[in-house]
Amino acid sequence: MPEQLVFAMEVILNGLMAGVLYALVALGFVLIYKASGIFNYAQGVMALFAAMTLVGIMNGQVPFAHLINATFGTHIHYFGWNVPALFAIILTMGVMVLLAWCVQRFVMRHLVGQEPIILFMATIGLAYFLEGVADLMWGSEIKKLDVGLPQGINLWLDETTFNIFDYGFFIDNLDIVATIIAALLVAALVAFSQYTKQGRAMRAVADDHQAALSVGISLNFIWVMVWSVAGFVALVAGIMWGTKSGVQFSLSLIALKALPVLMLGGFTSIPGAIVGGLIIGVGEKLFEFAIGPLVGGATENWFAYVLALIFLVFRPQGLFGEKIIERV
Amino acid sequence: MNKKLVTLALSALMASGPALADLVIPDLSYRTGPYAAGGIPFSDGYNDYFTLLNERDGGIGGVPVRVVECETGYNTEKGVECYESTKGEGALVYQPLSTGITYQLIPKVTADGIPLHTMGYGRTSAANGKVFSNVFNYPANYWNGASGAINYLLDENGGDLSGKKIALVYHNSAYGKEPIRTLEMLAEKHGYELTLLPVDHPGQEQKSQWLQIRREKPDYVVMWGWGVMNQVAVQEAANIRFPMENFIGVWWSGAEFDVEPAGDKATGYKALTFTGLGDDYPVYDDLKKYVADAGKSAGAGDQMGAVQYNRGLYAAMLASEAIKTAQEMHSVADITPAMMRDGMEALEMTNAKMEGLGMSGFGPEFSVSCENHGGPGLVGVVQWDASTGTWNQIQEFKATDAEVIGQLIAEDSAAYAAENNISPRCE
């Protein structure tokens, strides 16, 4: 088999894995948009906030230590204990539920019935507020995140492909884990929305707020639930990306990777987020591999958007989005 | 009526004007945003040194130093806003820690007569004082860095790099592109093959670049990164099992936080440096006594001895020594920005001077002149040991390729002079 074809196969595999990581971020956007019609600009910052909270809890860090020390003249930074990863994840999820309740109680509840652009702008404010709170709460330094996920080359795949192609493929173990978790997450989300009472209520709210209210569904409860689930997805994305690069403020920028995925997959489809992520991941990696060297490289960021734009021209609602027909 | 107006105007001017008898040093810091991890320790070191001088010595030459901090978020527009909002306070020197901001400030500081110190970053050809009257980039610049890395590899390979493959992984920005021409010229001179691998901001995703490295198997990888790009690159190098001892980063890719997320696998990674390591210097005794223990640290006080903290400390020390030089030259304690520029141009850093400051060997010996605003360009190499969590200096400060760098500086600064109608000075 030609060497370039073998390399291209490795690139495609890695593109699929990268796409899954993009999709993890996009899923959070989809959940909130699907249930409330809000494009949540703060989704990337929620991933950052969740990851910082997780590391802070694991390391026994005192939240708002800098503020406390500056106010009371104390010198406390750590409680002096470490929390096991699983327990810390559960506690962090609790914090994300609390955050969801606060967002609903103090922001969204006051904006019911407002134009989508107003709600979008509220989430921009929320993003900056949350970034500042995360900074104040846990500090700006880069933190190592280790919840026990494997990292590094998958030796089995390396050896197997070497025996077949005389060239061992590189796949990061962390990417394989991310793929499994993403698959489980999507299955759980689909099962939740299809087969549970709350899931059906969520879909009802998404279809028609007024009708849902008229049959006794609590809009407030559903929105807190949706923001909590989005917070959970953000936590998963934060763990995956934070394990790769350490937990730091640039984590919030992973949202930029989710936008073309949403444009391509549609804002209302969970499978769309996954398929969109895979197409973007493979597309950008293959383009960088084949065309990148001819144009000086660094094509991935812009090519993802070009690819999404091409899809948008022919299918504005995205691959799996709902076609909106408005009669006048 | 006129008299009343004049009185009012004068009162307003006095109220809004700079406080007298202060040496004003703006600190264009970035304590927030994606690059805060590097910006915070640098700014802490920069602030703490001036606090030390104020607390221990009552300032410089009896005049207290007032540091005016302005948050840029590593954003060029905000950096320019910070410059505009602080220059009126009598700012003596700017140190923006950003190549992007530096490029925007060069024409502004030149017009306003305020010196700009871009230590180890910024526009490299600003080393030519004949063209860049108000810009200084001593003691080393990016082209020294590029040459320093190649010199180190030459030493490792018995002086011969012909046939070797070197990949440059760089931040796809003005900063990251700075070493390319130097590395290309050095490739012609030494016969190595150079591969360029740009990484887009912020650098969170680098799979393509490292797959290419895995396929093409370069002998060495040189990195020009900043922010998250560094941590991801070190992790990806570990993932593909690239030999860490063959991976060298510029000085902005060589802090503790760049390698710690990768854990033990980062051991062996190397970085360039132009400043000392750790806190085993007498100046730290004073910093602890007068600054940290007194609760006057700029930040949380936990960065002392860290690589970027030391860089900030060193930058502040160089600024304070230039102030002293200016005070002596002009026999005035409360100097102006123009006097500060003169002081920077006449700055001489000797071992004896650094020993007197409790910073013996913290940086190289050098002197600045009208023609040379870049210093000698001496570059050291350090290596990370994850087991002890320390950087160890494996090469002392050594000279770089003055012939190649001098030619590039002359070409680039001549082009800048022609574009901006600047007549060379120092003649």
Chain B interface includes A290 (CB < 8 A): no
Residue B408 lies in a domain: no
Confidence tier at A190 by pLDDT (50, 70, 90): confident
B199 contacts in chain A (CB < 8 Å): 298
- CATH number of the domain at B77, please: 3.40.50.2300
B300 contacts in chain A (CB < 8 Å): 66, 69, 77, 139
Nearest to B37 among A14, A131, A141 (CB): A141
Reference B214, options A246, A12, A167, A5; nearest CA is A167
Closest-CA distance of chain B to residue A32, Å: 25
Chain B interface includes A158 (CB < 8 A): no
* Helices (H) then strands (E): counts for chain B: 15, 13
Chain A interface includes B293 (CB < 8 A): no
Is the same domain home to B47 and B172? no
Nearest to B261 among A170, A245, A254 (CB): A245
Residue B424 lies in a domain: no
Closest-CA distance of chain A to residue B303, Å: 10
Give contacts of A 55-84 with B, CB under 8 A: 66, 69, 73, 77
Nearest to B208 among A139, A172, A300 (CB): A300
Residue B190 lies in a domain: yes
Please state the rounded mean pLDDT for residues A270-288.
93
User: Across the interface, do B260 and A250 touch by the CB < 8 Å criterion?
Assistant: no
Closest-CA distance of chain A to residue B203, Å: 9
Nearest to B32 among A77, A140, A257 (CB): A140
Asked whether the beta carbons of A231 and A31 are under 8 A apart, the reply is no
Is the same domain home to B9 and B71? yes
Bridge-based pairing of strands B165-171 and B220-224 is parallel
Is the same domain home to B370 and B383? no
The whole-angstrom separation of Cα B362 and Cα B274 is 8
Asked whether the beta carbons of A174 and A279 are under 8 A apart, the reply is no
Per-residue pLDDT of chain B (427 residues; tens, 9 = 90+): 455 554 455 444 444 444 447 999 999 999 888 888 899 999 999 999 999 999 999 999 999 999 999 999 999 999 999 999 999 999 999 999 999 999 999 999 999 999 999 999 999 999 999 999 999 999 999 999 999 999 999 999 999 999 999 999 999 988 899 999 999 999 999 999 999 999 998 898 899 999 999 999 999 999 999 989 999 999 999 999 999 999 999 999 999 999 999 999 999 999 999 999 999 999 999 999 999 999 899 987 888 999 999 999 999 999 999 999 999 999 999 999 999 999 999 999 999 999 999 999 999 999 999 999 999 999 999 999 999 999 999 999 999 999 999 999 999 999 999 999 999 999 7
What is the total count of domains within chain B? 2
Chain A interface includes B208 (CB < 8 A): yes
Is the same domain home to B383 and B284? no
Residue B64 lies in a domain: yes
User: What SS3 state is found at A18?
Assistant: helix
Specify burial of residue B203 (Cβ count, 10 A radius: 0-12, 13-18, 19+).
buried
Domains and CATH numbers, chain A: 3-314 (1.10.3470)
A139 contacts in chain B (CB < 8 Å): 300
Asked whether the beta carbons of B245 and B197 are under 8 A apart, the reply is no
Asked whether the beta carbons of B244 and B265 are under 8 A apart, the reply is yes
Residue B23 lies in a domain: yes
Is the same domain home to B204 and B55? no
Q: What is the largest CA-CA distance in chain B?
A: 83
Say how many Å lie between the first and final Cα of chain A, rounded: 58
Residue B350 lies in a domain: yes
Is the same domain home to B393 and B342? no
User: Across the interface, do A250 and B207 touch by the CB < 8 Å criterion?
Assistant: no
Question: What interhelical angle do B99-112 and B76-86 show, nearest 10?
Answer: 30
Asked whether the beta carbons of A288 and A299 are under 8 A apart, the reply is yes
Closest-CA distance of chain B to residue A22, Å: 10
Residue span of the structural domain in which B266 resides:
142-273+379-401
The whole-angstrom separation of Cα A277 and Cα A16 is 8
Residue B239 lies in a domain: yes
Predicted confidence at residue A36, as pLDDT, reads 80
Closest-CA distance of chain A to residue B208, Å: 6
Asked whether the beta carbons of B169 and B221 are under 8 A apart, the reply is yes
pLDDT in tens, A89-142: 999 999 999 999 999 999 988 887 788 899 999 999 999 999 999 989 998 888
The whole-angstrom separation of Cα A92 and Cα A63 is 13
Q: Which amino acid is at B315?
A: A
Asked whether the beta carbons of B362 and B314 are under 8 A apart, the reply is yes
pLDDT in tens, A205-236: 877 778 888 999 988 899 899 999 999 999 99
Asked whether the beta carbons of B262 and B238 are under 8 A apart, the reply is yes
Chain A interface includes B260 (CB < 8 A): yes
Specify burial of residue B16 (Cβ count, 10 A radius: 0-12, 13-18, 19+).
exposed
Is the same domain home to B391 and B294? no
Residue B82 lies in a domain: yes
Is the same domain home to B136 and B81? yes
Predicted confidence at residue A252, as pLDDT, reads 87
Is the same domain home to B250 and B293? no
Is the same domain home to B116 and B201? no
User: Across the interface, do A249 and B32 touch by the CB < 8 Å criterion?
Assistant: yes
Reference A308, options A272, A269, A265; nearest CA is A265
Is the same domain home to B31 and B106? yes
Is the same domain home to B102 and B185? no
Give the chain A residue nearest B296 (alpha carbons).
A70
Lowest mean pLDDT among A263-267, A315-319, B185-189: A315-319
Predicted confidence at residue A82, as pLDDT, reads 94
